[in-house]
Amino acid sequence: MAEDSMQEKTEPATPKKREKAREDGDVARSAEMPSVFVLLGSITVLWMTAGLLSGKFERLFLDTFWFDAVPELTVKAVVDLCFESGWFFLAVMAPVLVVVVVLGIFANVVMVGFVIAPKALMPKIDRIDPIKGFQNKFSLQAVGELVKSLLKLTIIIYVAWLVVKGELGLIPTLYDESALRIFLYMGRVAIKIFLVSTLPMVAVALADFVFQKWRFEEKLKMTRQEVKEEHKEMEGDPQVKSRIRNLQMEASRKRMMHDVPNADVVVTNPTHLAVAISYKPGEMPAPKVVAKGAGKIAERIREIARENGVPLVENRPLARNLYKTVEVGREIPDDLFQAVAELLAYVYRLKGR
C-alpha cells in the first residue's frame, strides 16, 4: 500500500472518477468567465437603453422634487415616496437584472454543462476550520488568485486612465451645459470605461479557464494501481465471479436433476454421456432435452433415471450429437428429429403406449 501511495499520477481520469467528481460539484470552473459575461452583458444593455433610462429617471426626479407647494413631510408620505421610487427603479432596471441572471447561468453551463451537485451544498467541518482556513490564505492557489486580482486591477486602472485622458479636452465645454447634460455625459464616460476595461478581461478570463481546466485534469489524474483497482471493482473480483458462476451452475444442475424423473428416455454413450429427453404430445411442439451431462453428472442422471423407472437407451451417435448441439430446455433440431422420433417410438412400445 505504501508503494501504491508513492506512485506518480500519470494516468488520465477514468469516466467513473469524472462522474463522481461532477456529483461532488468538482468541475473545471473559472470564476472569471461568468463575471466577464455578466459585466459585458449588463454594460451592453445599459449602453443600448441609455436614452430610455435617462428619460425615465429624469421623469422620476421631476415627479419627486418638483412641488407646487411645500409638501407635508409625514412618515406616511416619506414611506410612500420610498416605496414608489423603489418599485420604479426595479421596473426600469428589470431588463438589466434579467440579463445578469441569464448570462450568469449561461456562462456556467457553457463551461461545465448542467450540473446538479447536492453534495456540494452540504455543510463541511473543514470549511469552518480556522487552522485550515489560515493555511489556505497562504497556499499556492491563494497566491495565484492574488496575482490575478492585482493584474485585473492594474488593467482596469490603466484602461480607465486612458479613457479619462481622452475625455479631458471635452470637460471644459460642459461649463455651459445643463445639469442633465452633464449627468448624461458622465454616464456615457462611465459606461465607456467599463466597456473598454472589460475587453482585456476577456483574455484574462479565457487564460484563467484554460489554466483551471489544466489544473482540474492534473488533480483528477490517477496512478496505474488506482486504474487497475477501479477496473477490478467494475469488472468484479475474479474469485467472486468464479464463485457466482459455480453457484449458478449448481442451481442449474439441481433444476436439471429435478426434471430427470419426468423424462421419457435417457440416451447414453453408454458411460461417458447421458441426455434425458421428454415429450408431451399436445403440450410440446417437439421433444426437448431436459437434462444432459458428462462424467459424474452423466452417472448421476443415469442413477436418477433407474430410481424412477426412466428407460436408458444406448445410442452413441445420437447421444453425442444431442450433447454437443442441443442446450438443456431446447427442442430437438430438425436434423435429429427422425432419430429421436424412432427412439421415442421404441420406448413407447416397451411401455405399451
pLDDT in tens, the chain (353 residues): 444 455 677 777 777 777 777 777 677 777 777 888 787 777 777 777 766 776 777 677 766 666 665 566 677 777 777 787 778 777 777 777 888 788 878 877 777 766 665 555 555 555 555 555 555 555 666 677 777 778 878 887 888 888 888 877 777 777 777 766 777 777 778 777 777 777 778 888 888 888 888 888 888 888 888 777 777 766 656 666 677 777 777 777 788 888 888 888 898 887 788 998 888 887 888 888 888 888 888 888 889 888 888 888 888 888 888 888 888 888 888 888 888 888 888 888 877 66
Residues 40 and 119 in one domain: yes
CATH code of the domain containing 346? 3.40.1690.10
Residue 315: Cβ-neighbour burial (10 angstroms; 0-12, 13-18, 19+): buried
Is residue 208 in a domain? yes
Answer yes or no: do 122 and 203 share one domain: yes
pLDDT for res 3: 47
* Same structural domain, 132 and 268: no
Residue 229 maps to a domain: no
Residues 21 and 93 in one domain: yes
Rg (CA), the chain: 42
Is residue 5 situated within a structural domain? no
One domain for residues 37 and 87: yes
Inter-CA distances, 109 with 34, 95, 106, 324, Å:
10, 21, 5, 58
Pair (214, 262) in one structural domain: no
Do residues 110 and 206 share a domain? yes
| Alpha-carbon gap, residue 230 to 222, rounded angstroms | 10
Report yes or no on 251 lying in a domain.
no
Q: Based on the structure, what is the number of domains in the chain?
A: 2
- Extract the runs of DSSP E, i.e. beta strands, from 269-315: 273-278, 288-294, 312-314
Same domain flag for 283 and 148: no
126 within some domain: yes
Domain termination site, one of 166, 195, 219 = 219
Domain of 197? 12-219
- Are 163 and 54 contained in the same domain? yes
Q: Of the candidates 219, 242, 273, which is a domain's last residue? A: 219
Q: Give the pLDDT score at 132.
A: 56
Contacts of 85 (CB under 8 A, 6+ apart): 60, 64
Residue 93 lies in a domain: yes
Same domain for 262 and 215: no
Same-domain check for residues 335 and 199: no
Asked if residue 265 and residue 214 are part of one domain, the reply reads no
Crossing angle of helices 140-167 and 179-220, in 10° steps, is 150
DSSP per-residue codes, 19-59:
HHHHHTT-----SHHHHHHHHHHHHHHHHHTHHHHHHHHHH
The answer to the question of residue 242 being in a domain is no
User: Would you say residue 100 lies in a domain?
Assistant: yes
Give the CA dihedral 337, 342, 345, 351, nearest 10 degrees. -110
Q: What is the pLDDT of residue 2?
A: 44
**In this structure, what are the phi and psi dihedrals at residue 331, rounded to the nearest 5 degrees?**
-80, 160
